Structure formats: C-alpha cells, structure tokens
Structure 1
Amino acid sequence: MPDPPLERFFNQLAPTYDLLYPDWSAAVAQQGRALDAYVRAALGDRPHTLLDCACGIGTQAIGLAAAGHAVTGTDLSPVAAARAAHEAAARGLRLPVAAADMRRLPFPDARFDAVVCADNSLALLTTPEDVRAALGSMRRVLRPGGLLLLGMRAYEEARREHPEVLPPRVARTPDGGRAVTLQLWEWHDDGEHYDFDLIQLLPRGGTWEVRSRRATSWALTREQVTAFGTAAGFERLVWHEPAADGYFQPLLTARC
C-alpha cells in the first residue's frame, strides 16, 4: 500500500493545488486540448471512455471531459478527488471520482479506451515493484488496442546536475493576491531518488503564511520508463516533446 504520508501530503495540498500553476483554468483548457488531440488521433475522432488514474483536482480530467469524453477520475487522495468532482460540476461537467491506488485500480478488465497518468505521478512510486504494478494495472483496465498517455518530468538533465532548488512560480489568488511555490530537492546517495519540500507562501493579511510538505520521488529517465512500459506489455511506445505537441511535459503514448 502507498505510504500514508503521501496520501496526507496530497490531502493537505488539494485546497491550494491550483496555485502550483500561474493560471490553473488556462492550464486545464490547454492540457485538455493537447490530450484530446492525441486521443482522437489514436482512437478515432469521437468521444471515448477515459480513466485519469492520478486525477488530482482535475487538471487533465476536466479538460478531457469538456472535450466530450466520458472521464472517470481516481486519485490516492480522497480530498483531491472530491475537489476534482466539485470543480467539474462548477463548469457544468460530470466527473465521477473515487479514491484509489493506481497499482490496484478498482475496475474490470478492458474497461477503458484510454488511461491518463499525468503530472509526474508515476515518479512518486519509488520502487521497481510499484512502477511495474501501476503500469500493469493501467494495462489491465485498457481494452485491446487502448491508449496510455503518461506525462513525466524530463529528468535527464536533473540526473546529471542534481539541482537543489527549482525556480519559484507565482500565481494569482482569487482575491488578486500573489502566491509563491518553490521546491527544494535533497538527493539520495543513489543519485536517482530525491526528497522534495514543496513550499507555498500564501498572502495572509499583509504578511505570508508558509506551508511546507515533504515527499519522495524517483527521477525516472525516459529510457527507464520505456523499459518498464515494454515489460508491462505496452507496444508502440513513443515520447512526444513539449515543443512539438503543446503539452507541458514530455508525454509517452503507448498502445495495449
């Protein structure tokens, strides 16, 4: 089972997750358009049945639902999943959600036309056994010929340079204030795993409220992810770069 602190991390982050983006609503629309284009190109220009197995607060799922697809969202965090459903409803969209572990998805075999796993979620699984279990679970719930869309951070440079801090991001709060998000990374001795402190500075009455949360990630290279995907039985694995497709991270597409 996932480490309970990871669930707690995302439960606590869910209310301010949108502030990770300078403009979350714009990101929802843009990412939805980019992913929808891949789904329709691969599976046909019509609505499809999709699972977002790490839906968070709905960053990808809401945009895909707006594009006409029948989307189900699951997430390790019940708080995040509930917010995703609420955000979808506020936009006049239906998004059924559930709290679920991506390594043991609670659906019958061959249930979905496509599975989305985005926002670097796979990197939060820090052992080969967990990654294999998650990819096997995603493949199991895909119909024959179905599509996997896996969004990952480009870790190759980070594995070489081992940065200790990511550039801060500034977002506007609903009342017009500014919120700042940054990450501090502490690398493990193996050079592949790192602990990260996600720090948010939130404006509060002329001063700042500091919220800090820690989790661990595995800086998986695209070569490693491709090898795991191939071992899980996926075929036609192709990486798409952000400059080429408009999606904000490298995106792996693969077929079942």
Structure 2
Amino acid sequence: MTGYGALAEVYEWLISDAKLAPAESAASFDDVLGLLPSDAHVLDCSCGTGQLAVGLAGRGIQVVATDASDAMVRRTAELSEEFGASVRTVRASWEELPEHFEDGTFDMVFCVGNSLHHAEGARGRGAALESMSRLLRRGGRLVLTSRTWELVRSRGSRLDISDRLVRRNGRDAVVVYRWEIAPRWEEEHHIEIAIAQVDATGSVAVHSELLSCWPYRHEELEAELHRAGLRTEASTFDGAAENYLVVASKA
C-alpha cells in the first residue's frame, strides 16, 4: 500500500463537488444503503478523509472507518469531530482488518474511491478481498468502485492537467495527474498527483505524491471476488466509462 502522506492534507481538491459534503457523499450510495437493516454496522475500509464515513454516521448508521494511511485516518477523525459524528477510526491495511474485527461483524463494507488498485498485484488484491469478505456477515455486501483500467492503459503514459481551477477553503488549485503505464498489466504502474495551490498574491504551492498501483481487468476482478466468496449482484462496468461500481454479496 502507498502512504498518502503528502496528499492527505490537500485531498479535498481531488474530491468532486458533488461528493465533498459528507451528506452528499453518502447520498451517492442511496441505492445500496436502502438494502441495510435498521441496526446496520458498516465498515469504510478505504476511508480517505472521511466524507463517506461521516455522511453515513449522520444517518444514524454505526460506522467504522479504516485506512492504511495514518494521515487519512487522522483527517477522518477531525472531520467526524467537526460534524459531531460518531465514527470509530482505526489505522489498518486491508490485510490487517481481521486483526481488529471479528468475522461477520459488518452488514456492508465499502471499498470506494478507486482504491483497490493500490493492493500489490493479484496476490495483494486477493488478500484484500478475502479480508473484506471475512468481515461481512452472511448476506452482507461489499460495495466497491474502480477505475476502468482497460481505458486507462489504452491511453498510455501521459500528463493530464485539469482545464479549470478547483476552489476549496477559499483557495484555488490546478490538479495534475502524471501516468506511468508499464508495458504489462501485472507490472507496477505509477500515478503522480500534484495539486498546485494559488494564493491571492499569485504565489504557487505544490503538493505532490508518487503512488504505486497495480491495474486489473474487469473480468479479473469478477473472478477474484468469486474466489473470496462474494457473488456479484450489480455492476455498472462499461468499457467506455471512466469508473464503475460493483456490489457483491457474501454467500
């Protein structure tokens, strides 16, 4: 897993306007949240800066938020305090989750924000999905979002510079992605993300981080979910779309 140490402090510039507010972040998953029992226990195991976890807690759902990044967990705790939300935060990688929670603890596990590609290759993804599956009760669901890596790889190595300023907390920034696409699918790829903040005087402060990722095909993910004891109930996969969502239930 990668650290998200530098980016954690400016991560809100990477979140879309539509999901920046915790309530709106939770609302984007209304379809699956309607499947939860009234006394649901939910795990957000790639919590980032906490928008989803805090939004879920705001609905009265019992929420635990975990992330492999200490900085992300800290920011989630800070957001929870800001909104007066009851969210338990734990720093844990996916593989470490069973050390913190008993099997069958949760009714739903979220692994969103296109995070699974940070698991190291097929072995790492399999271990991560197995951990998530173990923590689900029978009939519980994993909700996962992913980049469409078939599309990402087809574009090759490149530099993507946002065509507009993003305003957060009264400051503007330009977001830049630099993609290093390896020759083969199974090799380590890299994404360097830079957030160039511009202040009122015109000065620029750049926060950047080089992140490792291991892409996968949609059909590989489907097979790995099945091996982890999960059955796909719904998928929005479209080879022409940038991202997709998968909902898989534990048999």
Do these two structures clear the TM 0.5 threshold for a shared fold by scoring above it? yes
Q: Secondary structure at the match of 1:51?
A: strand
Describe the shift of the 1:113–1:130 C-alpha distance in structure 2 as closer, same or farther (beyond 3 A).
Answer: same
More displaced 10-residue stretch of structure 1: 157-166 or 89-98: 157-166
User: Alpha carbons of 1:20 and 1:170: their partners in 2 closer, same or farther (altered >3 Å)?
Assistant: farther
Partner of 2:66 in structure 1?
74
**In the alignment, structure 1 residue 102 sits paired with structure 2 residue 86:** no
Within the candidate set 133, 156, 172, 2:167 is matched to 172
Output the CA distance in 1 between the equivalents of 2:58 and 2:73: 17
Partner residue in 2 for 1:251: 245
For 1:200-219, list aligned pairs within 5 A.
200-204=195-199, 205-219=201-215
More helix by share: 1
Quick check: 1:195 aligned with 2:187? Answer: no
Q: Indicate how the Cα distance of structure 1 residues 253 and 57 shifts in structure 2: closer, same or farther if over 3 A, else same.
A: same
Question: What value does the CA root-mean-square deviation take over the aligned residues?
Answer: 2.1
CA displacement at 1:191 relative to structure 2: 4.4
How far apart, in 2, do the equivalents of 1:124 and 1:115 lie?
17
| Distance of 1:66 and 1:152 partners within structure 2 | 25
Give the fraction of aligned pairs with identical amino acids, expressed as a percent: 29
2:43 matched residue in structure 1: 51
TM-score by length of 2: 0.88
More displaced, 230-239 or 99-108?
A: 230-239
TM-score (norm 1): 0.86
Q: Which amino acid aligns with 1:31?
A: S
- 1:1-256 correspondence to structure 2 within 5 Å: 2=1, 6-7=2-3, 10-23=4-17, 26=20, 28-40=22-34, 42-44=35-37, 46-105=38-97, 106-168=100-162, 170-174=165-169, 176-191=170-185, 193-204=188-199, 205-240=201-236, 249-256=243-250
Q: Unaligned 5+ residue runs, structure 1?
A: 243-247
| 1:165-204 superposed Cα distances (whole Å, 9 cap, x missing partner) | 3342632131x23111111001112146421111110124
Runs (5+) with no aligned partner, structure 2: none
